Structure 1
Amino acid sequence: MINKLSMNDRGDASFVSSVARSLFGDGTTNWGRVASLVAFGAVASQYLKEKGRGHCVEQVGQELSTYLLTEQRDWLLNNNSWDGFVEFFGVADPESTVRITLMAFTGFAVIGAILALLI
């Protein structure tokens, strides 16, 4: 994708808007597409930085923000903004999973011990 965009020839980050319009061009918006656009921006920024064009990285962020806050604003607001993003992609806290498992194991052990004493 980076090579197709000829990013070396451009002096600005307008390619971000082109990619965004293409990505959302069918009228479908979802968190997967939003995440894909942000991931593309990160990869493009890294590429630009490696090519000595680090000054363009801020422009990439501005283009992403402008597109999302204008073209996708209503959808973002209707889907709880970035809190909705976190809820959608949320991962269970590993510590709480381990804690719950240990509590359940301890509970079963205590119940087993009580039953053994009663019998």
Structure 2
Amino acid sequence: MKLEAIEKNDTSLLVSIKKQNIKLTIQLVAIFMLFNANFMPSYIAWILKVAIGYKRTPIIDALAFELIELSLAIDPIITVTFQPELNHELKILIIKSKLRIKSFIYNLIRYN
């Protein structure tokens, strides 16, 4: 696709391809950092358990569990944000929600 755009000298397609490449790179880095940061306490505790017999305290255990749950909750948000088809649908939903809220507030003010 990029070669076709270069051959046809289609600058808009080249810009679109470059933006998509940047978005995919940012998505990859975000997912990598998210999962490594949130799963790290579990990995470290497991390695320490094998190496020196370390037992996690209940607070550390709860923190590790919540971090894992947080990463699983954020992953779909990152996926939707960076996928073009889903991103357009998300933008439409956000715009519709904003318009409904504005209409609701306008109707509240108008009838009071």
TM-score, normalised by the number of residues in structure 2: 0.28
Flag the structure with larger Rg.
1
